[in-house]
Amino acid sequence: MTTVLVIDDSPSEMAKFRDMLVKNNFHVLEASNGEQGCSMAVAHLPDVILMDVVMPEMNGFQATRKITRDKATAHIPVVIISTKSQETDRVWGKRQGAKEYLTKPVTEAELVRIIKSVTE
């Protein structure tokens, strides 16, 4: 079973992701901020990480950079999922190490397709 770490500070977004992922037989881990997400990535070594950008303290770009540059977690694909839809955000996210960059809202089919594409 594929383990997905979702890092998002919005309880409603977290619930949406959890529902979509559980329905599609993914094991879900949850972190409500970037710092917690980085710690959980090291502790659990999930198969993929879904990362929000706009979060307090450590934003998703910073957390993505930390995860993708740490030897222990660099192999884990990070998919940024954000309301920030500018091309500059997308480019910056990829420069931080993200494999994919999706704009919210994300459909269930799109989410499952992207997770499969980065984990296979």
Mean pLDDT of residues grouped by 10 in the chain (120 residues)?
Answer: 97 97 98 98 98 95 98 98 95 97 96 96
Q: Is 45 left (phi over 0), alpha (psi -120 to 50) or beta?
A: left
Q: Which domains does the chain have, with CATH numbers?
A: 3-119 (3.40.50.2300)
pLDDT of residue 91: 97
pLDDT of residue 120: 87
Give the separation between CA 47 and CA 4, rounded to whole angstroms: 6
What pTM was estimated for this model as a whole? 0.97
Question: Phi/psi at 35 (nearest 5 deg)?
Answer: -65, -50
Give the separation between CA 25 and CA 10, rounded to whole angstroms: 22
Yes or no: say if 38 and 14 are a contact pair by the CB < 8 Å rule.
no
pLDDT of residue 17: 98
